[in-house]
Chain A
Amino acid sequence: MEERFKEILAQYTSLTVEEITEETRFRDDMELSSLDFMTLLGEVEDEFDIEFEETDSVGLFTFGDAVKLIRRKMGDE
């Protein structure tokens, strides 16, 4: 899942798959706008067949945060 998520993410930023790490920040390192970020979450929902709650995006700052959330969502279902 992590690798696929990185591949998706790399389409949104100038960073390559190899450059994305647990600590990579969506806003500061990848320069994602809120529109980019929410569009990304929508794509992640479709890709991994999960669903985010309205408040899930709050507190998601890094690639690692998102991976944890996706894992939790995949485990919940």
Chain B
Amino acid sequence: MKYYPLTAAQNMHYRWIREYGTQQVSGVSIVASMKAPMDLKLLKRCVLEEYQRYGCMRLQFTKPDKNGEIKQYLSSRIPEDIKTVDLTDKGSLAEADAVMQQWAYKTFDGDNIPMCEIFIVVLPEGYRGLFVHMDHRLVDSSALGVMVSDIFKLYMHYQYGASMPAECADFRKVLERDLARAGDPKRFEKDKRFWKEHFDAYGEPLYSDIQGCGVLEEARRLHGDPKLRAADIERRELFVTVKDHYLEPKPSRRLFNFCTEHNVSMTNLILFAMRTYLSKVCGGQEDITIENFISRRSTHDEWSSGGSRTIMFPCRTIIKPDTEFLDALYLIQQTQNMIYMHGSYDPALIYEEARRRYGTPEDTGYVSCYLTYQPMMTYSTSDKLKKIPMHINWFANGAATKKMYLTVSPNEKGELKFSFHYQTVRLTEHDIELMYYYMMRILFMGIEDSHITVGEMLEKA
């Protein structure tokens, strides 16, 4: 058996498991089903075949050593059977979803155990498909999407004679290459220097909160330090809930068109809206940091090998009020691009550097809001499937390490879905409503007049 250390992306999840004391923070679950009389025996066979094709599904972790470190390895064992669960007695898909949501809270507790569980599900309203529950160290959302899609492609191949899906890239080979790259001393030094120079140039970041300046003020009082620039992170009450907002197809299209026309990515446009809202509620604060998740998935092998490749980096934006909207977008884009180039660095080292430099108290940080932009994932793999109604739902794992985590993704209807996951101990639905409303005001104010300054937007929004 060959053992490997965790990659930076996997370590991020493992660090959260250790810090928050539960594997629940690393759970990821989805139901992917279609309204069709599927052959369940065949679907089961495809799932079992996928365990062979998509190596990361067999990933396991050793018992922590005396320093708490673990190693990963690929087990050769695949499950003997895949359980089928019939939920047709639930009145509706929504009720069936509620049951599966409970499954998503389940934790994988133990060492050297499988970290992936799949059920074949028979759902109300004629839907059949898969419920998948995994540990995020095995897959990120993109990899999970690729896996589900591959299973359906296999099904289409065996059932309808569609072409056999291409082989998945070897997980082990890609893992070894990632570890080698991260361990390359020249690369490491370049990345380290980039972040060091970043702190040298801009100094200590400043906390900003979705609920305004009062949160930092309270942290200053609590720690007896009126100059403190970081605020406390919630470690105990992790319960999270989800509020989804959908931006209609027409305005969504306008945002996409603006991005294309001005060569700006949707991620950067949304980052701008988030940071400007935070600035607004924090009395015009110019220095705002948001953590942005980046999927290190660019090459063919990286796309089809599975694994957890998503990692977050702080995106620090210091924007003067007289900066025009478009210039501010380009500033954010430039910052993000440089971060992308140094994306093989372990972000844990950035936080360590900040702690070492500024001596911030334990369990404090500079960020309250996190962002992932997920380009549309489609599961349909042939014209035949495209006509079949699908029911796909991502479930919250029930425990959030972050105060507010926004996932934005386009859907098949042409809408932009804004999915806010927030810790209920601190935030209410009203806080989220306000944030979404102002983000939209800010975005459309900007795309209607790209010469408007950030200061004017703060006043008018």
A residues contacting B by CB (< 8 A) are 11-12, 32-36, 38-42, 45-46, 49, 51-52, 54, 57
Contacts and interface: CB of A to CB of B under 8 A. Distances in A.
Interface string B25-63: 000000000000000000000000000000000000000
Interface string B303-347: 000000000000000000000000000000110111011111000
Given A12-B299, A35-B340, 18 more contacts: A12-B300, A34-B336, A35-B294, A35-B298, A36-B298, A38-B337, A38-B343, A39-B296, A39-B298, A39-B340, A39-B341, A40-B298, A41-B341, A42-B342, A42-B343, A46-B187, A49-B186, A51-B190
9 contacts: A34-B333, A34-B337, A38-B340, A38-B341, A39-B296, A39-B340, A42-B187, A42-B341, A42-B342
Nearest to B336: A34
Interface of B: 181, 184, 186-187, 190, 265, 294-296, 298-301, 333-334, 336-338, 340-344
B331 to A, nearest CB: 12
B7 to A, nearest CB: 15
B342 A46 contact: no
A39 B344 CA distance: 9
B181 A46 contact: yes
B88 to A, nearest CB: 42
Contacts of B299: 11-12
A45 B342 CA distance: 11
A39 B345 CA distance: 12
Contact of B337 (A46, A49, A57): A57
A40 B340 CA distance: 10
A34 B341 contact: no
A36 to B, nearest CB: 4
B190 A45 contact: yes
Contacts of A45: 190
Contacts of B296: 39
A8 B135 CA distance: 31
A32 B344 CA distance: 18
Contact of A34 (B184, B340, B342): B340
A12 B341 CA distance: 15
Given A42-B344, A45-B190, A12 B337 contact: no
B427 to A, nearest CB: 29
Contacts of B340: 34-35, 38-39, 42
Contacts of A54: 334, 338
A42 B339 CA distance: 11
Nearest to B339: A38
B52 to A, nearest CB: 24
A75 B299 CA distance: 28
B171 to A, nearest CB: 16
Nearest to B342: A42
A45 to B, nearest CB: 7
Contact of B300 (A11, A32, A42): A11
Contacts of A40: 298
B343 A39 contact: yes
Contacts of A52: 341
A12 B302 CA distance: 9
B184 A46 contact: yes
Given A11-B299, A11-B301, A40-B298, A33 B265 contact: yes
A12 B298 contact: yes
A24 to B, nearest CB: 17
A30 B341 CA distance: 19
Contacts of A57: 337
A32 B190 CA distance: 24
A57 B339 CA distance: 13
A12 B181 CA distance: 17
